[in-house]
Structures are given as structure tokens and as C-alpha cells.
Amino acid sequence: MSPPTVVPPDTQAVLLLCGVFAREDGSNVKPLSLSEYNAVASWLARNGRRPASLVRADAESLPDDEPGFPDAKRLRGLLGRGFQLAAALERWQRLGLWVISRGEDGYPERLRRHLRSSAPPLLYGIGDRGRLNGGGLAVVGSRNIDDEALAFTRRIGARCAEQGVSIVSGGARGVDRAAVASALEAGGHAVAVLAERLDRAAAAREMREPLREGRLTLLTPYEPESGFTIGKAMGRNKVIYTLADFALVARFKTNEGGTWSGAVEQLARNRNHAPGIPVFFRTAHNPEEGCAELQRRGAIPFPEDDFASRPVVELLTASVPAPPPPKLQPQLIPLDDSPKTDDVETCYRLCLPLLLHQLQEERTTKQIADMAKRLELLPKQLELWLKRAIGEGKVKKKRRASRVVYVAASAPSEQSLFDISPASEPNEEEATRDWSVR
């Protein structure tokens, strides 16, 4: 187990700003929300300051027009909670708990990279902090599970332990506890991200040995003595996913519960910040419509048939679909006075007869963009080739009123380039069409 450490001044300041202390002295000052803390952190960064500088700051030195920035009176009230902070730190250290803030070197880089400004300002924990950067397989699922789901989850935990793959999960009953317990029983490692009462979990008898051996790390983004809420359970889900290399949704209910919401949230995060964390789902014993919906959102069917015979990381890595190739932007072929390459010259010479034929036969296209589409060219490319054709005497450029039109140099009459009809004179309707190139 990692020994208690001295809390750095910056982390003490973040605790004063964002911490919720179990034994308040009647103060009604509300700790900063995540968005409010982000506003303060951004202001500090722009001004080359650290959180600890706020403890010494005068009200006049704080901004009064910063979006989302709390007022100076509230900040001073929060920063004046030194007695409550000292008492809380003493209790936590007696239990062997530690606390780290988002600006510390020891803060998990995975959370900073994947969550960015959504990363929790504070993390409380007990056990080896080095495990927080070790990755592994996140296993999540419903609280109420049957014997089949329990057996499956325990097989997953034991298999990962055999191969040195850490299990990352929550502390809730059901899938979470089964995954962590089976990994520890098999001599493996685990990180459990809790939504409530870290202080009680740290003192539990079954946790003592794996904590002492450094095989278990307990973690929470919430004050160690706080109770359970649905919001906290939802909030810790993103921490579970982003501490892992892969995630497996073992048992779920479609459109219902924290397991489903956490998976959907992570899949959305993957789309917005690719590549993200690959999310697998078990197809067996889960609702078909839910499996189809998760797959539509980007989740991957778990390769259960091969799990017992292939190395875990190798199998999961091979099961992740290759990303689609980047969409190529069309490139214009330069047609100017610079020397032409053989490829450019060949392309122009091959396309010119088709271009002239289309111009002489086409009777319905009114815009150059339509003609370019038929020829599978960019409109700008067509204009460049017309310019070159003029230089070669194959096309003539005419001005009619305020418009510019192009005519084929070899046409029997100077009809519009897009309305060549050698067999007859243009009728009144054809003569008044707008064939111009703006």
C-alpha cells in the first residue's frame, strides 16, 4: 500500500475550492462545480499562476468579468476553510487515503487525455497509484445478474489475471464486484472506481490483503465519506472507461440503467475524440435490440468463442475494426503557364475530345456545374480546361451583354457552347436560355 504523502499546496487549494468536507462548521459556501473550476483553472493558466496563489490573493487581484468565474467573496469563503481541510486530511491519512488534483504529475494521464476539461479536479484513493496508468480491461454490467452472468464475469476476471491484464471496474454489486473479486482471487490486479464511501471500503476486511500487496487500488472522484447518488454513479462511469485500454459490457438492459447510459456516453466520446476506448458487448444473454443499438453506435461484439484460447490483449486488439481511410479531397490539376507533367498533359488530351463532344451534343444542361458533374470534374477544373482550349483555338470566348459565354470554334454558328445544334437554328425558347458562365 502506498504510504500517506504530504498534500502539495496546489492540491490543498483545489481541495478548498472543490472539496466537500463531511464535518462542516455551519458554512453555507457552495464548493465550485466542474465548470466553475475550469474557469478558474483557465484564468490561472493564462496568467501564469498556480492554484496555491489564490490562497494569498487579495480580492482586487481576481477578475470580475471572467465568464463563469465565481465572485471574489465566494472564493474567499471557500479558501478560508483551512480548519475543515486540516481535519479532513488527518482523518483520511489515518485510513491510508491519498488525494491528487488534476494539475499534479501523479494525476492519471489517461483521464487528462480522454476527458480533457471533463476530468475530475480531484481523485481520492488508497493503494498503488501507479495502477491508474496501467490500463487493462474495464468490465461493467448490471447489479442484478443471474448465475450464468456471474459465472461469465468470473471467467473474464480469472483469465485476465492469468495473463497480467488488470481489471478496471466499479464497486457495485453484480458484475462489478464479481470482476474485481475473481481477478484478485486468481492473483491478479484490479482498480475499483467507487461512487460512495471510500472510507468504508478502505477499511473492509476483504480489501486489506490485496491493498497491502499492491494488487488493488480503490479510487473515487468524490469526497471519501460521501454517500451514494445516481449522479455519482453516472459520473464515475467515465473514469472507469478511460482508465482502461478496452471495455466490456457484460450484462445490460436496453435504454435502462447506469450500465447502458455509461456505454452510450463512452461511445459518443469515441466518435467525438477518436480513437477513444474500444467498447465491446456480450451478445449472449443480452437483448438483441440492445446489441444492435450498441453496435450501431460503434460498439464491437465480444469474441467470446476465442477468449479462452487466445491472449486477451491480442484478441481484443485484432477484433477492433480498422479505422476508415481518410476522405480524400479532390485536387485540381494545374493548367497554367508552368511546365506540365506527363500525367497532366495525358489527362487533358484524353478528356478534351469527350469534353468537346459533350459540349456539342448537350442540350439540357444550363450551368457549368452540371456539365462538370456529368464529366466527373470540378467546376473550376472545367473552367481551367476551357481556358486552355481557348488558347489552342478549339473554343472561343464571347461577351454577350454583361455575360461571358463560350462557343466551339468549329461550330457552324456561334450558338452557346451548351446549346450546339448544327441541324437547326435555335428557336425562340433556346435563344433566350441562360447558358452563361457567371
> CA 317 to CA 281: how far, in whole Å?
15
The answer to whether residue 203 sits within a structural domain is: yes
End position of a domain, from candidates 43, 72, 94: 94
Residues 119-140 have a mean pLDDT of 96
Give which of 341, 332, 328 is closest to 379, Cα–Cα: 332
Please give the DSSP secondary-structure letter assigned to residue 170: E
Q: Which three cell numbers stand for residue 272?
A: 467525438
Is the separation of the CB atoms in 54 and 75 below 8 Å? yes
Work out the pLDDT band at 62, boundaries 50, 70, 90: confident
- Cis amide linkage into residue 353, ω under 30° from 0: no
pLDDT in tens, 230-253: 899 999 999 999 999 999 999 999
Is the separation of the CB atoms in 320 and 300 below 8 Å? yes
End position of a domain, from candidates 319, 354, 371: 319
Assess whether pLDDT exceeds 70 at residue 217: yes
Task: For 48-85, give the secondary structure using H, E and C.
Answer: CCCHHHHHHCCHHHCCCCCCCCCCHHHHHHHHCCHHHH
Residues 268-275 have a mean pLDDT of 90
Q: What angle do CA 396, 402, 405 make, to 5 degrees?
A: 25
Assess whether pLDDT exceeds 70 at residue 387: yes
| Average of per-residue pLDDT values in the chain | 83
Give which of 338, 312, 153 is closest to 245, Cα–Cα: 312
Q: Provide the greatest CA pair distance for the chain.
A: 101
Q: Are residues 25 and 137 in the same domain?
A: no
> CA 402 to CA 65: how far, in whole Å?
54
pLDDT in tens, 18-31: 999 865 555 678 99
β-strand pairing of 167-170 with 190-193: parallel
Q: 391 is in which domain, residue-wise?
A: 342-431
Residue 395's DSSP bridge partners are 408
The answer to whether residue 99 sits within a structural domain is: no
The answer to whether residue 126 sits within a structural domain is: yes
Higher pLDDT among residues 21 and 166, named by residue: 166
> CA 168 to CA 179: how far, in whole Å?
8
Q: Could you tell me what percent of the chain has a pLDDT over 90? A: 60
Task: For 301-367, give the secondary structure using H, E and C.
Answer: ECCHHHCCCCCHHHHHHHHCCCCCCCCCCCCCCCCCCCCCCHHHHHHHHHHHHHHHHHHHHCCCCCC
The answer to whether residue 226 sits within a structural domain is: yes
Higher pLDDT among residues 387 and 354, named by residue: 387
Q: Are residues 196 and 263 in the same domain?
A: yes
Work out the pLDDT band at 437, boundaries 50, 70, 90: very low
The answer to whether residue 332 sits within a structural domain is: no
The answer to whether residue 179 sits within a structural domain is: yes
34-46 vs 9-18: helix axis angle to the nearest 10? Answer: 140
- CA distances 52 to 11, 16, 40, 238, 286, Å, are 8, 10, 12, 28, 50
Q: Are residues 392 and 282 in the same domain?
A: no
> CA 384 to CA 390: how far, in whole Å?
10
Q: Are residues 240 and 389 in the same domain?
A: no
pLDDT of residue 225: 93
The answer to whether residue 327 sits within a structural domain is: no
The answer to whether residue 381 sits within a structural domain is: yes
E strand intervals along 62-166: 98-101, 122-127, 137-141
Number of domains, the chain = 3
Other CB atoms within a 10 A radius of the CB of residue 149 amount to 21
Q: Are residues 90 and 129 in the same domain?
A: no
pTM of the model: 0.73
At 396, the amino acid letter reads: K
> CA 100 to CA 132: how far, in whole Å?
12
